[in-house]
Amino acid sequence: MEAPPTPPVALGALLRDRELGLAHRAGPAETEVHGVHASEMADPSPYLLGGELLLTAGAALTDAQAYVARLAEAGVAALGFGVAPVHEVVPPGLAEACDRYGLPLLEVPPGTPFTAVARAVWRLMAEARTRELRRVTEAQQSLAAAAARPDPVPAVLSRLAATLGGWAALLPTTPAPAPAAPGLVTPGSAAPGTSPPGPAAPVAAHTPAASGRPQPPGNPAPADAAPADAAQGPAAPGSAHPLGVPGTAAPAPAAAPRGVGPGSADLGSARLPRATGTASLAPAGQGPASAALGPAARGSAQPSGAAGTAPAGAAPPDLAGRVQASAGAPPGAEAFAAVAALARRVAPGAAATATDTLGGAQLAAYAVGGGHALALVTPSRAPGDHTVASVAAVLLTLLTAHRPAGAEAAALTRLLLDADPSAALPAGPWHVVLAHGPGDPQALAAALGTVLLDPRGERVRLLTDREPAPQPGWRLGVSAPAGPGELPAAAAQARRALRRAEAARTPLVRHTDGGLGSLLDPAEARAHAEALLAPLGPVLRETLRAWLAHHGSWDRTAAALAVHRNTVRQRIARAATLLGTDLDDPDTRMELWFALRWEAPADPPPVPGT
Q: What is the pLDDT of residues 182-202, one digit of tens each?
A: 443 333 344 334 433 333 333
Provide the pLDDT for residue 605: 39
Angle, in degrees to the nearest 10, between helices 565-579 and 554-561: 100
- Indicate the helix (H) or strand (E) that contains 141: helix 114-147
**pLDDT, mean of residues 560-573:** 89
- How many residues are given for the chain? 610
**In the 8-state DSSP scheme, what is residue 254?**
S
Residue 577, phi then psi, degrees to nearest 5: -65, -45
Instruction: Assign 18 a pLDDT band (cuts: 50, 70, 90).
Output: very high
Q: What pTM was estimated for this model as a whole?
A: 0.44
What's the CA gap between 444 and 453, in Å, rounded? 9
Supply the DSSP string of 75-134, one letter for each residue. T--EEEEE-SSS-SS--HHHHHHHHHHT--EEEEPTTS-HHHHHHHHHHHHHHHHHHHHH
What's the CA gap between 353 and 355, in Å, rounded? 7
Cα–Cα distances (Å) from 400 to 263, 269, 347, 387, 395, in that order, read: 18, 7, 15, 20, 9
**pLDDT, mean of residues 358-369:** 86
What's the CA gap between 439 and 395, in Å, rounded? 24
Picking from 25, 23, 62, the residue whose alpha carbon sits closest to that of residue 42 is 62
Helix (H, G, I), strand (E, B) or coil at 494: helix
**pLDDT, mean of residues 208-214:** 36
Instruction: Assign 418 a pLDDT band (cuts: 50, 70, 90).
Output: low
Most confident of 24-33, 248-257, 486-495, 558-567: 24-33
Instruction: Decide if 229 contacts 279 (C-beta within 8 A).
Output: yes
Note the pLDDT tens digit of each residue in 264-295.
333 433 333 333 332 332 333 334 444 455 54
Instruction: Assign 545 a pLDDT band (cuts: 50, 70, 90).
Output: confident
Instruction: Tell me the pLDDT of the chain averaged across its residues.
Output: 72
Provide the pLDDT for residue 462: 87
Instruction: Decide if 67 contacts 87 (C-beta within 8 A).
Output: no
Provide the pLDDT for residue 175: 66
Residue 595 clears pLDDT 60, i.e. is over it: yes
What's the CA gap between 299 and 154, in Å, rounded? 23
Provide the pLDDT for residue 517: 56
What's the CA gap between 141 and 89, in Å, rounded? 53
Provide the pLDDT for residue 413: 59
Q: For residue 175, say if its preceding peptide bond is cis, omega within 30 degrees of 0.
A: no
Is 76 or 370 the better-scoring residue by pLDDT?
Answer: 76
Instruction: Assign 435 a pLDDT band (cuts: 50, 70, 90).
Output: very high
Sign of the alpha-carbon torsion through 310, 313, 319, 323:
negative
**pLDDT, mean of residues 23-33:** 93
Note the pLDDT tens digit of each residue in 91-129.
999 999 999 999 999 999 999 999 999 999 999 999 888
- Indicate the helix (H) or strand (E) that contains 413: helix 406-418
Residue 73 clears pLDDT 90, i.e. is over it: yes
Cα–Cα distances (Å) from 140 to 65, 135, 147, 255, 384, in that order, read: 49, 9, 11, 26, 11
Provide the pLDDT for residue 312: 41
Instruction: Decide if 201 contacts 321 (C-beta within 8 A).
Output: yes
Residue 140 clears pLDDT 60, i.e. is over it: yes
Is 250 or 346 the better-scoring residue by pLDDT?
Answer: 346
Provide the pLDDT for residue 417: 58
Provide the pLDDT for residue 303: 33
Note the pLDDT tens digit of each residue in 242-270.
333 333 333 333 333 333 333 333 343 33
Lowest mean pLDDT among 118-132, 346-360, 467-481, 526-540: 346-360
Provide the pLDDT for residue 282: 35
Residue 488 Ramachandran class (φ > 0 left, ψ -120 to 50 alpha, else beta): alpha
**In the 8-state DSSP scheme, what is residue 457?**
T
Sign of the alpha-carbon torsion through 141, 145, 148, 151:
negative
Any bridge partners for residue 264, and if so which? 273
Instruction: Decide if 370 contacts 327 (C-beta within 8 A).
Output: no
Q: How many CA atoms lie within 13 A of 266 on its CB side?
A: 4
Domains and CATH numbers, the chain: 9-124 (3.40.1390.20), 148-174+202-208+236-244+258-299+312-403 (3.30.450.30), 406-510 (no CATH), 516-598 (1.10.10.2840)
Residue 17 clears pLDDT 90, i.e. is over it: yes
Q: For residue 172, say if its preceding peptide bond is cis, omega within 30 degrees of 0.
A: no
Contact residues for 394 (Cβ-Cβ < 8 A; gap 6+): none
Share of the chain above pLDDT 70, in %: 66
Provide the pLDDT for residue 37: 94
Angle, in degrees to the nearest 10, between helices 586-598 and 538-549: 120
Provide the pLDDT for residue 447: 85
**pLDDT, mean of residues 546-562:** 87
Lowest mean pLDDT among 126-135, 169-178, 571-580: 169-178
Picking from 197, 196, 202, 205, the residue whose alpha carbon sits closest to that of residue 152 is 205
**pLDDT, mean of residues 485-493:** 84
Residue 432, phi then psi, degrees to nearest 5: -90, 130
Residue 48 clears pLDDT 70, i.e. is over it: yes
